Amino acid sequence: MIATRVCQRFKKVVNISNSKRVKVMFNSGKQEIKCYSSTISDSTRSKGFAHNYFRFTDYDCLGFDLDNTLARYKVGAMIEMEYDILANFLVDNKGYSAKHLLKPLDHNFIIKGLIVDDENGNLLRISGDGTIIQATHGTKILTQQEVKSYYPNLRWRATDLFAEDPLQTWNGPYSEKMRTLLDYYDVIVSLIFARAVNSIDEDNSDRKLYNIWPDLLAALQDMFTREHFQNEKGKYFAEIKANPHTYYYKCSNHLIRWLNDLKAKGKILFLITGSYVDFATHTASHTIGENWRDMFDIVISYAKKPGFFTDHKDFISLDGFKEGEALKIDDLKLGGIYTQGNWNDLKTFLETHSKLSNPRFLYIGDNLVQDIYTPHVYAGCDTVTVCEELEAEGVYGHEKWHPDEQFLCSTVWGSYFKSKDTGQMTNWYDIMKKHSKFFVPSLEYVATFPVDHQFKIDIY
């Protein structure tokens, strides 16, 4: 049972016992604490599973993603804002149907992790072995027979390759055929795409190729082009800059203390974010706080994950927000901030400064391809997945609680982790389970425990 109370200014720390945990959330500027039992009920335990444990302090160098990992967004507000910008861009600049695209947002349709088949106008979900387990054409749910008419034996070459190794479709010919909507930056693209398909079907029922993606890409580029943060073009950055409190949660004192406690134990902390340094600074300042740089031994922005973990780009120096020259590994400094770069050099840097012969590395993030699969498979990092759906759906030992549950949970698709119809687990669950040591709904959840807490990981 959930007991809720609002604590003014966080004066009172709720007792933490073996059976109770403190949950921290922020809502409209109020700090609110929810206390609930985290004792995992017998029904959620996997019977006969050997007990395993995970402990953050078993690692020497701990890396963090920024957006939707350390920096929590008010996901619902963000998605509504993005829908508005993308839909209006397509209507105003690309001639799409206002009747379809400017309808009220249907949050029941969206779910993280949908796969776009642009050629056929379909959205898909697959299992870990690549079998297509659910699909829509536009917003229309397809029967299994209809799915088979598009994808014989419920298989498609693009998703087969993705299931084998997601990086096989990241670049090259199949990156033109399928797209994955992996995080809250692009989750809303699924509804825009589906409604654009609906409108094309209405106008040209015999049309075979949809080719919506180039227009969507133009809309996304207009929204996220890094130069727009400073030159005031585009609507996305302008809105976040004007109303940061509408879109960001501030990190709790618990989480700041948790990070400081890791540092006090001699751990090296590093940040690798895809955001360019100006936007990253804005986000980190409004979430972690003005002194956010002090938390990290090194910060890498505009890192271009997943390529950061597989390629060998140089690190680039920064003069304020302006990129300078390419750097050699010896040029990297503790406390420094750089753009681009690569994991091999960063690893060498971290090894040197850890003063350990064989330090253990952990990377924590939310994007299952960029932050979890690739660092684990290509860089040998252990990883922790941050997945807000754990709380939005109330699964794997977590209470069902999330202020934006309606945006994260879908009545159309069912659970993020398994198919609504067949119960087959999704490829996303598969990646989380295979490639992360531990998955959590937020770092705020983790920070209610001491840094050296042993988490049981036998529940999923």
Site string for Mg ion, 47-76 (x = CB under 5 A): ------------------x-xx--------
Question: Between 64 and 396, whose beta carbon lies closer to Mg ion?
Answer: 64
**Closest distance between Mg ion and the C-beta of residue 186, in Å?**
11
Question: How deeply is 249 buried, as exposed, middle or buried, from its count of CB atoms within 10 A (0-12, 13-18, 19+)?
Answer: buried
Q: In whole angstroms, how close is the CB of 65 to Mg ion at the nearest point?
A: 4
Element (H, E) at 343: helix 343-354
**What's at 267, amino acid-wise?**
K
Residue for token pair 């190729």:
209
- Nearer Cβ to Mg ion (332/372): 372
Would you put residue 68 in left (φ > 0), alpha (ψ -120 to 50) or beta? Answer: left
Which one of residues 60, 215, 297, 366 is an interface residue with Mg ion (CB under 5 A)? 366
Considering only 55-63, 301-309, 364-372, 445-453, which stretch makes contact with Mg ion by CB under 5 A?
A: 364-372
Q: Which of these, 158, 162, 305, 280, lies nearest to 230 by C-alpha position?
A: 280
| Least distance in angstroms from the C-beta of 71 to Mg ion | 8
Q: In what order do the strands lie in the sheet with 122-126?
A: 140-141, 132-137, 122-126, 115-117, 178-180
Order across the sheet with 268-272: list the strands: 322-327, 315-319, 336-340, 298-301, 268-272, 61-64, 361-365, 382-386, 438-440
Stretch that binds Mg ion, among 222-230, 232-240, 358-366, 418-426 (CB under 5 A): 358-366
Total residues binding Mg ion (CB under 5 A): 4
Among residues 96 and 185, whose Cβ is nearest to Mg ion? 185
Length of the chain: 460
Cα distance between residue 123 and residue 130, in whole Å: 14
Tokens of 81: 């804002």
Instruction: Decide if residue 388 touches Mg ion (CB under 5 A).
Output: no
Nearer to Mg ion, 68 or 354 (CB): 68
Listed ranges 3-11, 171-179, 219-227, 365-373: which one lies at the site for Mg ion (CB under 5 A): 365-373
Q: How far is the CB of 437 from Mg ion (least distance, A)?
A: 18
Judged by the rule CB under 5 A, the positions of this chain that interact with Mg ion are 65, 67-68, 366
